[in-house]
């Protein structure tokens, strides 16, 4: 275990030294390239900032308004038919929108039911097998100025739904 810790601590300085030595060997101005990359990253961050603010406001409104609980209560009969635990519905709703909100919901699930419970395992598998779809599409398409994302969004949300259903089915089968 000490070897792994030592190698982990050594990894980042080794990569930095490797880049510097490669720059010296190829006579490339590494620091100038670093500054150019940092400048581009800052410009990108500023360009996508309005999109991020809009997403964060929408997520905050969803969580505090109680609409997620209302949706869960309305579709609970359908969830029972397909054997999808209603306790996972807040995670299923927030996961495609926000990674940080879905982590908070998953943490709540773990604290309430336990990490080794079936619900906890299902939440973990859902977190690992789905993506923050809307967030990812919003960021990437705003960077390259794409406006028509309807087909991408539909396909990605279908993939998320399938990932969630399969996660629950596999966890149920293996328990």
83: helix, coil or strand?
Answer: coil
Q: What is the model's pLDDT at position 79?
A: 87
The stretches of 29-98 forming alpha helices (DSSP H) are 30-65, 67-81, 89-94
pLDDT digits (tens, 9 = 90+) for 102-146: 888 899 899 999 999 999 999 999 999 998 888 788 778 877 777
Measure the CA–CA gap between 69 and 72, rounded to whole angstroms. Answer: 5
Q: Do the beta carbons of residue 120 and residue 105 sit within 8 Å?
A: no
The residues, any chain, with a CB within 8 Å of residue 82's CB and separated by 6 or more, are 165
Q: What is the model's pLDDT at position 160?
A: 93
pLDDT digits (tens, 9 = 90+) for 11-37: 899 988 888 888 888 888 888 888 898
* Residue among 70, 73, 135 at smallest CA distance from 101: 135
Token output for 155: 């396909």
Helix (H) or strand (E) holding 132: none
- The whole-model pTM stands at 0.68
Angle in degrees, CA 85, 90, 96, rounded to 5: 110
Measure the CA–CA gap between 10 and 7, rounded to whole angstroms. Answer: 5
């Amino acid at each position: 275990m000490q070897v792994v810790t030592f190698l982990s601590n050594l990894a980042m300085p080794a990569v930095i030294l490797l880049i510097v030595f490669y720059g010296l060997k190829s006579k490339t101005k590494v620091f100038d390239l670093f500054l150019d990359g940092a400048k581009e990253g800052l410009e990108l961050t500023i360009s996508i900032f309005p999109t991020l603010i809009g997403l964060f406001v929408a997520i905050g409104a969803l969580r505090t308004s109680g609409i997620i609980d209302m949706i869960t209560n309305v579709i609970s009969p359908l969830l029972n038919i397909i054997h999808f635990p209603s306790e996972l519905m807040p995670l299923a709703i927030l996961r495609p929108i926000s990674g940080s909100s879905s982590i908070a919901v998953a943490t709540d699930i773990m604290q309430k039911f336990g990490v080794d419970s079936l619900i906890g395992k299902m939440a973990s598998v859902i977190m690992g097998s789905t993506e923050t779809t809307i967030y990812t599409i919003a960021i990437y398409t705003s960077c390259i100025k794409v406006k028509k994302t309807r087909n991408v969004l539909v396909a990605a949300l279908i993939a998320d739904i399938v990932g969630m259903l399969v996660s629950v089915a596999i966890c149920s089968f293996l328990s």
